[in-house]
Amino acid sequence: MRDLHTEGTFEIVPPDNGPPFIKSRGIRFPNDRRVIPPRRRKALRLGQYEDRETQAVTATVKPDDVVVELGAGMGYMSTLMAKNLNVAQVHAYEANPDMVPYIQAVYDENGVENAQVHNAILGPKKGKVNFYVRGNFLASSMEENPRGLKGKPTRVEKIEMRNINAEFKRLKPTVLVCDIEGAEADILPTADLSCLRAAIVELHPQWIRQKGVQAVFDAMHKAGLTYYPKRSDAKVVTFLKGW
């Protein structure tokens, strides 16, 4: 399944004398130096990449789940859930248009057919938002001058914002996986999360502060989801219904 909003042919840019693929937890990732810098390459090879989130997801997600992932990154978590955990369906939302072809390449390389990447974000209303693309794929963001990042954007893309409640009503997800670099405090409180049986959220308290963390917890509790400490670790927090 494809939902690519980019044109042209996507080509992998491997590091000099590097292998064509990096294998991690049984998943093959095209060894593109724009997406997998040395530190990430090492973490993937050692099985340490996104370790806390991986442990929470592996312990929580079930084969019959429909998962919405906010912040698909390089396609690691959605591929893990689709291939290794064999979920019914994953809908992965990624704002960066330059990452979408790479994510699809990961799906194709691993024979994943139960995951779909959407070049869109979810929010309180339908529309378009600016996305600031930088030469470093990983430094691109929805902010023109985000904290901690240097360098001006190379271009600005208009990215689709979909209404989060309309998408949840359409897809009927049972699990939410969310890592959106601080936007969790703005987006999650606007959503009706009552359809979920579980949510795994990476919090960013360094940006959202106590008020933002409280807003996320309040949104979960409103939906009947309660913090579950056994599957939480530091900033990665798991919420379950009926435990």
Six token digits for residue 230 = 């056994």
| Rounded Cα gap, residues 96 and 185, in angstroms | 20
pLDDT at 1: 36
pLDDT by residue for the chain (243 residues), tens digit each?
Answer: 334 333 345 677 878 777 899 999 999 999 999 899 999 999 999 999 999 999 999 999 999 999 999 999 999 999 999 999 999 999 999 999 999 999 999 999 999 999 999 999 999 999 999 998 887 776 788 777 766 556 688 899 999 999 999 999 999 999 999 999 889 999 999 999 999 999 999 999 999 999 999 999 999 999 999 999 999 999 999 999 999
- The pLDDT tens digits of the residues spanning 135-161 come to 777 678 877 776 655 668 889 999 999
Beta strand residue intervals within the chain, DSSP E: 21-24, 27-30, 66-70, 89-93, 115-118, 120-123, 127-133, 155-163, 175-178, 198-202, 226-227, 236-240
pLDDT at 48: 96
Burial 130-163 (b: 16+ CB within 10 A, else e): ebbbbeebbbbbbeeeeeeeeeebeeebebbbbb
pLDDT at 15: 81
| Rounded Cα gap, residues 113 and 174, in angstroms | 19
The CATH architecture that domain 61-240 belongs to is: 3-Layer(aba) Sandwich (3.40)
Q: Which residue has the tokens 């359809």?
A: 195
Please state whether beta strands 89-93 and 236-240 pair in parallel, antiparallel, or not at all (unpaired). Answer: unpaired
In the chain, where the domains are located: 61-240
pLDDT at 209: 96
**Taking a C-beta distance cutoff of 8 angstroms, is the pair 87, 69 a contact?**
no
**Taking a C-beta distance cutoff of 8 angstroms, is the pair 161, 70 a contact?**
no
**Taking a C-beta distance cutoff of 8 angstroms, is the pair 177, 67 a contact?**
yes
Q: In sequence order, which ranges of the chain are alpha helices (DSSP H)?
A: 38-45, 51-60, 76-79, 100-109, 164-171, 184-187, 205-222
Of 195, 237, 233, whose CA–CA distance to 213 is shortest? 237
